[in-house]
Structure 1
């Protein structure tokens, strides 16, 4: 076996060298550009009011393109292109280095985020046009774009995006269009991506163009400028696209997927166009900026509760698990501010609950042929082979360009965190902020870092690749901003009555529906995808078709009956057909003449339609604003449940032709300036402001931040280092261990534990709890946790304990129905959690609040907003203790290999690896794992000492 591998490596290396002769380097740096850069850097530094106190980091590295030679070298020898992985080490090191962190050592873990590049740090300078330079620093390779004209500035931003993320942008425009498998091959990961995202925004080309036209015509001068900027950005991408193709230094994935012949250079990289940016924006918005939906599974849980307990009591039970306005929930606005939205009506009208057992999901995939006919991850026994000249390279890409599970489509849930402290409580008297988006870990990263300086633009930070004509999260001359996913309810589910155009009796399969008394045909939207064998995916050819029906109330998601009559459930999202409207808000955030203080920042954020929490810091103030196109509803409607499709229950002012409606005014959005501190980790924004879905109760991962920042603020003298330490400590803490385990132990310790084995397990858990319940290595690089046995016990015990406590009282049906709305567990190693394994993000979704409230009730503690019933031991302390010990007994003997069974990335029993962060490959390169830490992917640490 070893000899065979050696022969393969030798052959592949020879092929690599042969191909290397056809892959040239990018064009040389222009001398004039280098001279101009020195002048630009000095001018830029004058406009930087951070004075060296702004830092940031984004792993794995700035470089996101790799030629075919570089990809093959990565597969064969483990090498990486320059700056493609250099941010992994400092990012990873904070896990072990944060306890001793000082302001002076922040640069060991974060990079200088000052404007410009000092002369002695210039790595390269290029000038794709005479009116723009792109300077990259030696340390990170981040592009600093400086333009003398607006067009040239945006052209440079697009050109730099092409340099760093050409393949990724191409991938994502095809995901947004539902055409990934036709573009990149039929691997299961590719099928999953297009099936996940296209149904959220199943646009025709006319739909995409209409959005481009609307931005240009409906937003005055800013709209025209935005589309001019976008066109210049696209022109820059296309310039690099063509130059890299002609010079043969284009991303190697184009060869691996059969688009370009590496030897002859025959083939094409399709030009980018403005509508591609809309498709890209729909994917980004679907990942991070949506809110609401899920009303059908919520209704099914309500029906199960009513079936179990009766209508009145069942509704109370369901409401207690829904926790829609829980008084104990961690809130970003914690001073009692109330911003009522999507509240529960006193007496709901227009509810459209399905008949029990009648709901079926709307099918998406049809006509599977060839390789698409099998849903197995195992390739056919006799796959059609790639061309003979590439045969020796097949084994390097047996799972496709996107390896199996590389991009988990379930990672669309809201993430990100923020910590800000007012200057009243800091050592310097200036605000301090540590914040960033938690967007997952990919190779290359979905975000890219850049600095853009030009007429009307002055910003540095992160942008999603392909829509980076402006910095979306970062800093301006004397302010910084960031966001977290908000998740407020901007999506409703309507039940439309089905009909047939010929007047015959409708069925659940009917494709016409009632709208304002008329029987209208549904619009059928389709995508047909087919693929052939490539180097990256040498399995058999295949094809299938995706189909979505669209109505004036949104797209069809389910079919059912109500009172025996057939209906279709549809999802209506306020940002549908408005995927890129937020470009106006981002343009304002990048404009130094517009944003100059906290209030102007809030006004800019009002122009962002997606559901985000926005945070701001300058030398004087911190501020918060919740953005989103919040539709105005009939106050009698309950948005947590499906609504009857009737004019009386439509959004106020709703126009289906443009998908516009009346929106709540800015004053009704949660907002604040100079609260003592702000924290956000996708938690509840404010009292009476309902976030869509379950899970905002007494224990939320935001408590990990809130407890620490509140203590820091009370003590005073907060610094950048101390606030970063608070974030990093929360990032390695097990939420269950910190906020629920103490109550579990109180119940168990109500009597001595006599069984020696159980007593030892309880002692291990108790010691871990008292030591902070962290999941940290004994020393950096040890890959062994302190209290590893206790961590293993908690991972094994939690799901078994939750089932043992709640399932007997709820019954199997209701327990499962509630679990469909809120996962029981999302530990770092829980591959079944909403974000999947190795994702970094953890503890956002789980039954910790339910367990906390139930255990405190059993213990006799005060509980605000309790569950409607008691479940652990039916509410008696002795019986609850028996349940906890019985479930702990079930798992106490489980080995590490049983708790951590292993996967494609880890061997069975490797606890550290089971938690570890894996950079999910969305291209040909793969990277090393990082230690688990639950923190933003792109992160800023800022403190402005001065202001304009």
Structure 2
């Protein structure tokens, strides 16, 4: 039973006392750091000191109440909670002069083991496992003499570093965030977004465990044994921390444990909690497709404006399913057909115009669950010493749009040994998972029977390293997001045979009228010191059919339907555990082929990259279902047996899937790049706008030039990544066409001429958003950057809205946002998120302007839009929008927020580690790069 004191002032007084007394919540655990510091014996390591990694802000992710208070009052932080943030930040300024011998100025040495003189602490949570932490980073190196002990140690170390975060996310996965962490609007929105995608019951979680046992063979049994040992390790640490009063301070701040009596508890973890956590990871980074209803609405708008045939052509040209100019990861010309438009679509179920409504999710709002007037807030009274802690979670512990916004997981640069100085493949790669404090990922090394790896794992599901390195190979992933989600139009019915309404909760399945399953979650919360919003409650409700979860209601041909979302990975997020187990097994992964075989067992939609001393490789994973002939995956389809996935079994949500040979893959291509771009020829993109200009071009252009020159080094490939990371995609790949149009005639207006000159100078200098010097917090060509930021949304509207009309223009903006500049609010953590230029209208602008200029365009838009297709009129429209943009002061372009003053350009772009726990961190300069990153070149092979 969860404990809440109900006497918040008592918690506050106790917290203040902790600040004064200092040591109460900082005592070491009884069994920690008692063993003599000795070297952690390294497993056989074939990297030869040429493997590096980094993960900001730092390995330590737990903070006691005293730590949190000290941070808020004095700005201090626990050891290793921020020591990777500075080196990560410094690369943006230091990359131009980077050499191989300077790499570990900006990265950590990721060699196996810990030398004796680098040991900071040694913990033996039980006899068959040792956790050694190094002095530089505090990363846990877990070494077990038994497999069970190894996994127990992994869970123990994970709880040492991320207990609060893991607890937070298991409650997100269960749709119970507000009742656990408070009723802030952001928390409400987050749990609602996730519950829409995965409204699981306890039986659903257990069913995933049972499925692995039934279908996974010996590896499945071993995986669940590993997971149980991992859970046991988490619980062992949680109990010791609670007994020693050394637990994360957030438990006190949110009212779960009494600071004076230590009453209350940290709820023990269960195996099903790991399934809940895996569901969160899958929803965040391993999904693909969806959005068919929104696509249908823009198609209807296009057909309304242009007529059925012409409107469909216009819509398809914006959809860009298989654009011939798109940058590819597999570039050998081989096609991998999947999810493209069928020649003769069948079963498409477009809604009647004006009939679509979103399904209601939230009911019975009370208290702070009811939308309040701006500024209305109930504050908890507490002593003055707690000013720094009052309401720290009033804005939520996690961003509101963590699940609702599209996001990319990036990036990868891999060069074959044929083109490197050392004759071995070189890789610079890693996932971009957002910037959090503590980070969602955690670093660890695992060494035990059948396990040998170092790298990053998502907190709470770290029984294996998910992205990292083995003894003589390394691997990483980017999000591929191919289409594994379909929308069905389910015919509604009434059990008595009467005409159903749009709100009916019965539906047709193979001729029968069946009731929908109603999945509910009721949450309630009270004020705490950290979250001082008023008490409140509500109920969430989702209807589930055999064709998936109800998302919208509409009519099709006058008949009421429920649109449902059916995801291939729904109820199967945990299946991927077997693939990760294989990647950690040195007896399984021995070369590129065995690596690809392991990746085939991961059903998340990821691009997987591999490098050892001899080979480089790529494989696209995902549960790609086989659709019925004629089904258009980009639009809703009728929920009839003829249009179901092949061999569809709704009882287990399984179907026939495309075989591994049909997934994009390659071994020893000259180089690979990935930044969530198009994967291969004929492999259709899941969303809009994957065309001629993509942020993947920023990598491809640079790596291609390196390969052409030859002699690529780790430093050279890192420089290519880092330069792309501070480059404005619009400035590098679209501004040249814009300038051609503007310069097609002399510019008479002095103010416009000055603005154009500044843009030209910026473009000639590399279109970068980079400080003039380290710590200056001022961009070179700052005014050009300001002009571009102000101009882009204005120029897109001026170019396209007159031709498309307001309704179609707005519908297409719903399918694809116009811009994703660094200062915009987007990405995994909202604003200040780092990740930029993934989604935008850059390809549309590029293709349209080249067409207006009379240049060759492969896969052009169906019409010319800028100036009605006439160059002079296009120029006038662009100049008019540019004049408006140039006149905007910085205070309007960068209006400021809780972290930045209006007009502060550098701060508006800056990356902020989104506070998930109680610690805050310094801002760092914008750079568009992975959160966790590896730089590797293996010197030898087994």
Question: TM-score normalised by the shorter chain: which range applies?
Answer: over 0.9
How large is the RMSD of aligned CA atoms in angstroms? 1.6
Matching of residue 745 in structure 1 with residue 742 in structure 2: no
Q: Please say if residues 33 and 125 of structure 1, whose CA atoms lie closer than 8 Å, have aligned partners that are also in contact.
A: yes
Contact 2:288 2:482 (8 Å CA) reproduced = yes
> In the alignment, which residue of structure 1 is the partner of 2:567?
573
Alignment pair present for 1:635 and 2:635: no
The question of 1:826 aligning with 2:820 is answered yes
C-alpha separation between the residues in 1 aligned to 2:355 and 2:887?
43
Matched with 1:695 is: 689
**What is the aligned partner in structure 1 of residue 317 from structure 2?**
320
For the residues of structure 2 that align with 1:406 and 1:19, how far apart are their CA atoms?
34
What is the CA-CA distance between 1:392 and the residue it aligns to?
5.0
Secondary structure of the corresponding residue to residue 580 of structure 1: helix
Q: Counterparts of 1:377 and 1:917 in 2: how far apart (Å)?
A: 27
1:394 to partner: Cα distance:
5.7
| CA deviations over 1:371-400 (Å, ceiling 9, x no partner) | 1112556343x55x36x6x67526523241
Name the residue aligned to 2:353. Answer: 356
Q: Secondary structure at the match of 1:157?
A: helix
Between the aligned partners of 1:469 and 1:365, the Cα distance in structure 2 is: 35
What is residue 615 of structure 2 aligned with on the other side? 621
Moved more, 501-510 or 64-73: 501-510
> For the residues of structure 2 that align with 1:806 and 1:76, how far apart are their CA atoms?
51
Residue-by-residue CA offset, 1:857-912 (whole Å, 9 max, x unaligned): 01111000000000001111111110110100111111110100001111100000
Say which of 438, 443, 447 aligns to 2:437. Answer: 443
Q: Which has the larger displacement, 742-751 or 390-399? A: 390-399
Cα deviation for residue 262 of structure 1 reads 0.7
Q: Is the 8 A contact 2:190 2:398 kept in 1?
A: no
Structure 1 position 174 matched with structure 2 position 171: yes
Out of 152, 157, 160, the residue aligned to residue 154 of structure 2 is: 157
| Match among 316, 334, 337 for residue 337 of structure 1 | 334
Distance (whole Å) between structure 1 residues aligned to residue 771 and residue 129 of structure 2 = 47
- Corresponding residue for 1:591? 585
Alignment correspondent of 2:932: 938
Match of 2:143 among 134, 143, 146: 146
Q: Is the 8 A contact 1:12 1:393 kept in 2?
A: no
The residue aligned with 1:525 is 519
Pairing partner for 1:418 from 409, 412, 424: 412
CA distance in 2, matches of 1:292, 1:406: 22
Q: Does residue 266 in structure 1 map to residue 263 in structure 2?
A: yes
Equivalent-residue separation in structure 1 for 2:523 and 2:21 (angstroms): 30
Structure-2-length-normalised TM-score: 0.97
Out of 228, 247, 260, the residue aligned to residue 244 of structure 2 is: 247
- Residue 845 (1) aligns with residue 839 (2): yes
In structure 2, the CA distance between the partners of 1:349 and 1:14, relative to structure 1 (3 Å rule), is: closer
Cα distance, 1:670–1:72 mapped onto 2, change above 3 Å:
same
> Hey, what does 1:6 align to over in structure 2?
none
Q: How does 1:792-803 map to 2 (within 5 A)?
A: 792-803=786-797
Q: Secondary structure at the match of 1:519?
A: strand
Compare 613-622 and 835-844 and name the one that shifted more. Answer: 835-844
Tell me which moved more, 51-60 or 361-370. Answer: 361-370
Q: CA offsets, 1:695-715, max 9 Å, x none?
A: 210000000000000010011
Other structure's SS at 2:528 match: coil
8 A Cα contact 2:26 2:64, kept in partner? no
The equivalent residue for 2:366 is: 369
1:115 maps to which of 88, 101, 112: 112
CA distance in 2, matches of 1:376, 1:584: 49
The answer to whether structure 1 residue 393 and structure 2 residue 386 are counterparts is yes
2:860 is equivalent to residue 863 of structure 1? no
Aligned to 1:654: 648
Q: C-alpha separation between the residues in 2 aligned to 1:32 and 1:260?
A: 28
**Cα separation, 1, equivalents of 2:195 and 2:608:** 27
Provide the rounded CA distance (Å) in 1 between the counterparts of 2:729 and 2:274: 39
Corresponding residue of 1:486: 480
**Aligned residues of 2:394 and 2:532 also touching (Cα < 8 A):** no
Relative to structure 1, the CA distance from residue 99 to residue 67 in structure 2 (aligned partners, 3 Å threshold; closer, same or farther) is: same
CA contact (8 A) 2:33 2:121 kept: no
Shift of 1:833: 7.0
Could you say which residue in structure 2 is the equivalent of 1:22?
A: 24
| CA–CA separation in structure 2 for the residues paired with 1:30 and 1:190 | 35
Quick one: which of 116, 123, 136 aligns to 1:126? 123
Question: Equivalents in 2 of 1:837, 1:88: separation in Å?
Answer: 18
**Change beyond 3 A, Cα 1:537–1:315:** same
Aligned to 1:80: 77
Contact 1:608–1:627 (CA<8 Å) still a contact in 2?
Answer: yes
Shift of the 402–166 alpha-carbon distance from structure 1 to 2, 3 Å rule, reads farther
CA distance in 2, matches of 1:901, 1:853: 32
Deviation track 1:327-350 (CA, whole Å, cap 9, x = no partner) reads 000000112110000111101000
Rounded Cα–Cα distance in structure 2 between residues aligned with 1:580 and 1:19:
45
Residues 489 and 14 (structure 1), Cα distance of their counterparts in 2 relative to 1, 3 Å cut = closer
For structure 1, list consecutive stretches of 5 or more residues without a partner in the other structure: 1-9
2:91 match: secondary structure: helix
1:14 deviates by 5.1
Alpha-carbon distance, 1:15 to partner: 3.1
Q: Is 1:283 aligned to 2:283, yes or no?
A: no
* C-alpha distance in 2 between matches for 1:429 and 1:376: 65
The reply to whether residue 804 of structure 1 matches residue 828 of structure 2 is: no
Q: CA deviation at 1:22?
A: 3.2
Once residues 30 and 669 of structure 2 are traced to their aligned partners in structure 1, the CA distance between those partners, rounded to angstroms, is: 52
Change (3 A) 1:31 1:177: closer
Q: Which residue of 1 aligns with 2:446?
A: 452
Whether contact under 8 Å (2:479, 2:607) holds in the other structure is: yes
- Contact kept? 1:126, 1:134, Cα under 8 Å: yes
Matched, 1:230 2:214: no
Cα contact 2:434–2:829 (8 A) shared by 1: no
Conserved? CA contact 1:209–1:275, under 8 Å: yes
What is the distance in 1 between the residues matched to 2:372 and 2:157?
A: 39
